Amino acid sequence: MTTENSSLIKLDSVTKVFLTDEVETHALAGIHMEIMKGEFVSIAGPSGCGKSTLLSILGLLDTPTDGTYNLNGRPVHGLTLPERARIRNREIGFIFQSFNLIGDLTVYENVELPLTYRGLPTSERKQRVTEALEKVGMGHRAKHLPSQLSGGQQQRVAVARALAGSPAVLLADEPTGNLDSKNGDAVMDLLHNLHKAGSTIVMVTHDARFARHSERTIHVFDGRVVQEQVESDPTR
């Protein structure tokens, strides 16, 4: 359920062209998109359709070739690299298919690391990390290493790491892609509950079953938005 009727993400005529060996690849072509605060939106489509490129632009990991992107009412296309990094650290939470946990850091340390880059005091970091791990049901594994966890548990830790920074939006790139069906369902239940608690979530998926957890699905094909579908009854 949308908690605030205001725009968080707005793309106008966004294109992305990759140049390799004098060949132009049009990954995105004229994308228009608006995501409101509190929404749970899926971006769906076949492999190679531009979903991940679009998510990289939303997460300020890449820049459009043309068009405009406003995040929280502010244009981001003219930001310097340090400014983009600062916004990523403070306003965007990433959840990756491959978890991207650091193997020689404990669960607690993995969740704490992005907060350390912000220069937050130890007491505040401890509170944020503890609360985030409890939200995903991993507080009892704080001292474990990633290698001591199942894939589903590692993804829960990755979600906690994203949550700890209190981001404006959670960007999830195929968050169930490396999980079996049982763990995939559990992670989707977790995202569903986070959304009910007020989180804005944008999830890339190729699985229509998981897309149904969202309120709205944006279908992408050959770098274009070809359909938008409002889920009349999001899963549970």
| pLDDT by residue, tens only, the chain of 236 residues | 444 568 999 999 999 999 888 788 889 999 999 999 999 999 998 888 999 999 999 999 999 999 999 999 999 988 999 999 999 999 999 999 899 999 999 999 999 999 998 889 999 999 999 999 999 999 999 999 999 999 999 999 999 999 999 999 999 999 998 899 899 999 999 999 999 999 999 999 888 888 888 999 999 999 999 999 887 665 54
- Structural domain spans, the chain: 39-49+80-230
Q: What angle do CA 73, 88, 131 make, to 5 degrees?
A: 105
Arch. (CATH architecture) of 39-49+80-230: 3-Layer(aba) Sandwich (3.40)
pTM for this entry: 0.89
Sequence-distant (≥ 6) Cβ neighbours of residue 5 within 8 angstroms: 36, 37
